[in-house]
Structure 1
Amino acid sequence: MKTQTFRNLALILVISFIIIFSAGCVSEDQSADGNESDVSDSGYRTVVDSRGVEVEIPEDIERVVTVSDGLVEGVMYSLGVEDTLVGLGSACIGKDWTYSYPTDDGTYVNGSGGCNVMQVLYPEIKELPLAMQSGAAMNYETLSSLDPDVVIIRLGSCSIQEKDSETAQKTIETIESLGIPLVVLYSPDCYSDPSLSQISDEIEIIGDIFGKKEQAAEIAEYLESQVKLIEERTSDIAEDDKPSVLMFGLSATHRAQGGAGVVQGLGTTESYMIEDVVNAKNAYQVDAGSFQLVNTEQVLALDPDVIVLCTAWGYHPPGELYNATYYSALRELTAVKNGRVMSLPWTPCNCAKRLEYPIDVMVIAKAAYPELFEDIELEEWLIDFYMNVYGVDQATAEELLYAQWMEWCIEE
């Protein structure tokens, strides 16, 4: 009798264990409504980076170090994971900037408050330590002390500009030897045939890292839609009707060397924007790459229809070319006489395009074809752009406009 009772108790315990175990399985592998959980058995996911390398990274990412001038960080903000940042690879993100130029009447025009958009979006970023910066090698002691779950490096950024350089290869090899998961992104300038769609590829890889593929794809799609709008409006422009556009950097560094500034040659992302997207002509028809030094005589000989001022060792508003004493010789340019000078937004460490690249394209388009884009008020378009890309309110969008020194378009 005692034996039978013991067997009955044992059977009850076994059945109870099965029920409890089954319930546990549902809570671990399946949600109560039957949907699969995002957590894998291994706790890792595989991401394929721009090199085509499969990188195993933790499912739960809490600590990220980036080497980027704002693209990676901006995407992270848009995805809502900016608080995982623990270290940076660009000093430009945390700096505050000013500009100043003299005018003929002896006064100066001064500007202040310029900064990387991430300072407006995520002020805490200014306090993050630097593991790397332009002109200096990676500090591996700092990197290790930050104990990152993943490092994201964007080649083409100012800290590592050349994809195949010794700096790039050594940095990649050393980080991987430390056993830290490393995802490498290629900016458009890493390709022999740069295209803005390559930025979408980067955005989607970042989304993959954080398990937010769909959200990242939506961001990329929105950016591409703004470019497509411009392409559609300018697609039928006849060759003889295309204005010449000079992408001009009023670099004080190069003025000190006897030049008037720097220009963007063929084969650059800027030239791609001018010729392939906006369907105008790059006034500098030389396959010489980025930031080519030109003197006053060369600029006067080019005499472009339109001038677009880019970030070049500082910010340069339209007024600098119109009114600065040291550019009095360039006031004879057709673009200056006709008032067809515009400026791209302030992008400190302007080595590779970021999430704001559609702003660059829109400025070029409005400068080249004012009649075709007369219906687009740049100030309103900018506010909408910031709100859509970063999910911010109008007040924050206006702060972003001023941080990028685009208030000149309000005075337009």
Structure 2
Amino acid sequence: MIPYGMVRHCLRRFVRAAGLTTLVVAVAAGTAACGGGDQAAGTGAAASAAPVAIKDHWERTVQVPANPQRVVVLEWEGLITKSMKIFGVDNTLVGVDSATKKMGHRAAVVPSIAKAVALGSPWSGVNYEQLAGLKPDVVFLEAWVASQENRAMHQEVIDKIELLGVPVVVLISPSNFEQPNIRTAWEHITITGQVFGKQAEATRLVERLNAGLDKVTSRTKDIPDAERTKVAYFATINNVMGTKSIQSYLLTDVVGARNVAGPGTFVTISEEKLLALDPDAMVVAGHEGYLDTSLIYEGKHAGLNWANLKDMRALKTKRLVALGYDEWRATVETPIALLKIAKLAYPDRFADVDIVAEEIAFYRDVYGLDEAQAKAAIEAQKYVGELEVK
């Protein structure tokens, strides 16, 4: 039997020699060439240890080298890189998707991102030659599969990376399951823990995050349906989060509010439709950039012309809360985001909660930051990106 590390080494050698245009031919030749001779030097992973079998969200069992030392992460929610930081293995990060590289918040909590190479994404195109040059032991890929077309696109990316001799662990975005549930988000943490042999650390992290959710549900679980606050979960620049999204699940099942949006995940919204929904309160999520609520109250144009929505109940009563570029996602900061939403929806039930103090304490506890670092990371959530405000 040909050793796994040797096969991978040879595959990479042949792919680099042949170029990506002849990827399949190169891989076939590389596999044949690996049939004999002395074992080649492996990568940084423990070459003598048996690979770890990982069951991923693509309904496969993936053989991953034990103790991976060179890791690429292409993701949306940030759960993988953040978990790596919390587990103390983020020094293995060598490549990330371009969006992760560009935004400031994740680098504030995971400094290793600053040194990692930007590799594109399934949506913008992955730079396979750069990826091969990094010699990763494993690639994590978070897939957005809202359609068969999306799934086929990600499958093509998986196939190309695996032809480089690199195992791919696929995790599906929490909004893409038939029934969104925070459990599927936390699986990003537990599977990352399995890859790195950090199962105990993963369990502790999930327990810590669930404890944060319990702070909310313990105060909202007894609210009668008739008394639930009607909330619009707006996502810049012109969407509301529909009932198929993980955000809707968190809004209704954890915060105990009512989502005024209809079915779907990202539901395009116009000024007229949002005014017709007339929510009691509104979350402003930094999907395409952080939008400060003061700009909405001032009637600025940012995706929508907010001056045309001045008569919407949530604006008239100033019941808005802005969530940062990362925290609105199903991610490590979700418990803090939900505290903010819960205080917006039910101010009397959360009158004693000091959001600023809770947020700083959370960052210090979960990420091991000092107070100054925690404040800097929180401020970095206000990443505006390419959001245009007029």
TM class by shorter-chain length? 0.7 to 0.9
Within 5 A, what are the aligned runs for 1:280-295? 280-284=257-261, 286-290=262-266, 292-295=267-270
> 1:80 offset after TM fit, Å?
0.7
Within 5 A, what are the aligned runs for 1:133-148? 133=121, 135-148=123-136
- Structure 2 residue aligned with 1:219: 205
Secondary structure of residue in 2 paired with 1:308: strand
Q: Does 1:68 align with 2:43?
A: no
- Structure 2 residue aligned with 1:299: 274
CA contact (8 A) 1:50 1:202 kept: no
Bigger shift: residues 203-212 or 311-320: 311-320
CA distance in 2 between partners of 1:87 and 1:52 (Å): 25
Among 370, 377, 380, which residue is 2:357 paired with? Answer: 380
Name the CA shift for 1:51/1:165 in 2 (closer, same or farther; >3 Å): closer
> 1:345 offset after TM fit, Å?
1.9
Name the CA shift for 1:134/1:374 in 2 (closer, same or farther; >3 Å): farther
> 1:335 offset after TM fit, Å?
1.2
Name the CA shift for 1:250/1:93 in 2 (closer, same or farther; >3 Å): closer
> 1:206 offset after TM fit, Å?
0.2
Percent of residue pairs bearing the same amino acid type: 31
The structure having more radius of gyration, on CA atoms, is 1
CA contact (8 A) 2:219 2:349 kept: yes
**Which deviations, in whole Å up to 9, do the C-alpha atoms of 1:148-200 show, x marking residues without a partner?**
111111113xxx77685221111112222332122111221220111111111
Q: Does 1:344 align with 2:330?
A: no
- Structure 1 residue aligned with 2:63: 56
CA contact (8 A) 2:101 2:118 kept: no
> 1:268 offset after TM fit, Å?
1.0
Unaligned runs of 5+ in 1: 1-38, 97-114, 252-260, 407-412
> 1:139 offset after TM fit, Å?
2.0
| Ranges of 4+ aligned residues in structure 1 off by more than 3 Å | 39-43, 160-164
Among 34, 45, 58, which residue is 2:52 paired with? Answer: 45
Q: Does 1:201 align with 2:187?
A: yes
Name the CA shift for 1:383/1:226 in 2 (closer, same or farther; >3 Å): same
CA distance in 2 between partners of 1:240 and 1:209 (Å): 46
CA distance in 2 between partners of 1:195 and 1:357 (Å): 13
CA distance in 1 between partners of 2:172 and 2:123 (Å): 19
**Which deviations, in whole Å up to 9, do the C-alpha atoms of 1:27-77 show, x marking residues without a partner?**
xxxxxxxxxxxx896442222222342222222311001111322111111
TM-score norm. by structure 1 comes to 0.76
Within 5 A, what are the aligned runs for 1:13-412? 42-69=49-76, 70-89=78-97, 91-95=98-102, 115-116=104-105, 118-133=106-121, 135-156=123-144, 165-251=151-237, 261-284=238-261, 286-290=262-266, 292-325=267-300, 326-347=305-326, 353-405=330-382
CA distance in 1 between partners of 2:244 and 2:108 (Å): 33
Bigger shift: residues 394-403 or 51-60: 51-60
CA contact (8 A) 1:345 1:359 kept: no
CA contact (8 A) 2:90 2:112 kept: no
> 1:397 offset after TM fit, Å?
1.0
Unaligned runs of 5+ in 2: 1-45, 384-390
**Which deviations, in whole Å up to 9, do the C-alpha atoms of 1:295-338 show, x marking residues without a partner?**
22222211110011011322111112111344222121111121
Secondary structure of residue in 1 paired with 2:170: strand
Supply the AA of the counterpart residue of 2:83: V
Secondary structure of residue in 2 paired with 1:165: helix
CA distance in 2 between partners of 1:162 and 1:131 (Å): 24
- Structure 2 residue aligned with 1:105: none
Secondary structure of residue in 2 paired with 1:168: helix
CA distance in 1 between partners of 2:131 and 2:256 (Å): 44
